[in-house]
Amino acid sequence: MSRTIQVLLIDSDRLRHALLRSILEGVGLEVLGAPVEGLGWRVLRAAPCDLVITDLPLTDAEGLEILRELPSAYPETHIIALMDGIDAHLEARELADERLRDRVRVLLKPVFRGQLLTSIRALFPDWHPDEVDWNEDGL
């Protein structure tokens, strides 16, 4: 991919937000952060991006709102939803209908570095970052 992938990272857990941001920036992605619940959707409206990585569900259901509205509002934006538990996983799968099939990945927490990067590469097949160990475990 000739240009940098722009990522909006929405996560209210400050430590996880910092770790994910470090991983993403470490492989050359441009990261916009929205660590405060309720801010992510406003940031997305102000600065459309290529990929949204969001912790679901946020207490104000912002993440589910983004999943529901993303296809029509931002037809080129992809999403990776980070979720707790199998019920949340199944709920997100139901939301990821035909409009989102090639644009959404759902990852159950805890999310590991290799899993996250492999999901990004699946959404952006032309993305080939230098010096990435795809088998590296850990956050």
pLDDT digits (tens, 9 = 90+) for 62-118: 556 666 677 678 888 898 888 876 656 556 656 556 666 678 888 888 889 999 999
**Token pair in block for residue 58:** 């946020």
Closest CA to 51 of 108, 107, 135, 110: 107
Strand partners, 107: 82
24-65: pLDDT as tens digits: 999 999 998 766 656 777 777 787 899 989 876 644 555 566
Residue owning tokens 């441009």: 30
Q: Is 123 helix (H, G, I), strand (E, B) or coil?
A: helix
119-138: pLDDT as tens digits: 999 999 999 876 666 555 55
Q: Which domains does the chain have, with CATH numbers?
A: 6-123 (3.40.50.2300)
What does pTM read for this prediction? Answer: 0.81
Give me the pLDDT at residue 118, please: 92
